Homo-oligomer: A and B are copies of this chain.
Amino acid sequence: MKNKIDRRNFMKVTTAAAGGFAFSQLGMAQSYLNEEKPLRIGFVGVGNRGSYHLDAALGIKGVVVPAICDIKDTPLYRAKKWIEDAGQSTPALYGKTDTDFVRMCEQEDLDVVICSTSWKWHGQVCLAAMNNGKHAVSEVPIILTLDEAWEIVETSEKTGKWATLALEQALIESDYAMAVLNMIQQGVLGDIIHIVGGYVHDLRMVKFNPEEEPWRLQHSVDRNGNLYPDHPMNKMMAMMDINHGDRLDYLVSVSSGAAMLNEYTEQQYGSSHPYATQNMAQGDTNVSLIRTMKGKLITLNFDTNTPHPRGIYRVQGSKGVFIRSRGIGPYIYVDGISPESHQWEDAETWLKEYRHPLVENYNPAARESSIRGHGGRGKVTPLTWHLLAKALREEKMPFFDVYDSVTSSAVSPLSEMSVANKGQSVSFPDFTRGKWEKQPPISFT
């Protein structure tokens, strides 16, 4: 089937990328620069997710962890032990107050700070890092408000440091998503017109873990919108050249009513539990529509409250369409190429043929044991971590730069504004201040 595909778009893309975009120099064919150069990494938040990042980092040659921060002793001392067990010096410990990360950023000599706290601190940790001469990588979302988003952009431009979602796995560590990106960049699906995706994942069990994560459910009590846009946006933005030739123009967002969390509380803990009658702001299902300056359309779903298998990811282009969910597909239909007119075709062959070179060529040695914590990459250094270490050593900003990262997370506050006003249309800020028009599409080749 490959020979039927028009490669002109692909050639245009790669030529442009080779000319202008920093990340295009990070190809796998090059060896590490300064592989032995120490990377000094500090961690803020070493709980479930933060401990995964710590363990992933400890397995990378040259990484040292001089300082860690957590407001809880159990994860803090577990992290300290892991670092010592890895043969490193005992790290400095922070976490006496909620904002002790500021002191860590002021006092420690670090290349980068990895933030895996509860959501409300992400932006503040990034700012403290950059203002003290350190890069920052945050867990999603990187910001909760538009003010924070602008402050991160301006601080990055002022300090020359960056804060991004570089460890977001949704695109880079998904074989299928990378293959679809490759197909798109090679023109298989034509011009991209519409992508449907979202975070549709029944998390009622996870939300009701108030001893472990008391802050998580509180967001559903206080807020109403798309509270978790970054996983799908990471894929969609790359596939639509957002901030790299196009940009998000405006958004509308509508939520259903809120009943599921009360109902779940009653089922699990009885009707006298406070959450059985607590007013919940967050609608059980939320849908946002986003239109780009060049007329592409995104349908972004958010539903962590209702019973379902995971949601659908669907990419409609001018030449064809791809669809996948866990347990559904992957299927593809390419006009004039798929065997039957307007019928789905199994996409596995396509995904194999268009396997992304970055994924294809990443074959690191296995570690002795699986990476601990919440991440699920087994015994292999996650590709995101591999690329982050490489970018730090080459002194370049990794994929999903500061503009991409705040744009992705800005969906949350924008959707909240829209939902609160019956789906009113809200404009996306142009965080790039016009640079989006000249940035070439992302490229990993």
Contacts and interface: CB of A to CB of B under 8 A. Distances in A.
A297 B259 CA distance: 13
For A258, A295, A309, the residue with the greatest tally of chain B CB atoms inside 10 Å of its CB is A309
Nearest to A336: B307
Interface stretch (A65-73, A145-153, A319-327): A319-327
A318 B263 CA distance: 9
Interface string A244-282: 000001111011111110010000000000000000000
Interface string A348-369: 0000000000000000000000
Contact of A297 (B256, B319, B343, B344): B256
Contacts of A317: 306
A333 interface: yes
B194 A256 contact: yes
A252 B299 CA distance: 12
B256 A291 contact: yes
B255 A297 contact: yes
A308 B342 contact: yes
- Contact size range, A: 35 or more
Given A284-B193, A285-B297, A291-B254, A344 B327 contact: yes
A321 B296 contact: no
Given A291-B423, A327-B331, 13 more contacts: A194-B256, A194-B287, A194-B306, A252-B423, A258-B295, A285-B316, A287-B297, A306-B318, A307-B333, A308-B316, A309-B343, A309-B344, A424-B425
B321 A256 contact: no
15 contacts: A193-B257, A193-B260, A194-B303, A252-B289, A252-B425, A256-B291, A258-B295, A259-B318, A299-B299, A306-B316, A306-B317, A307-B342, A309-B344, A328-B331, A423-B425
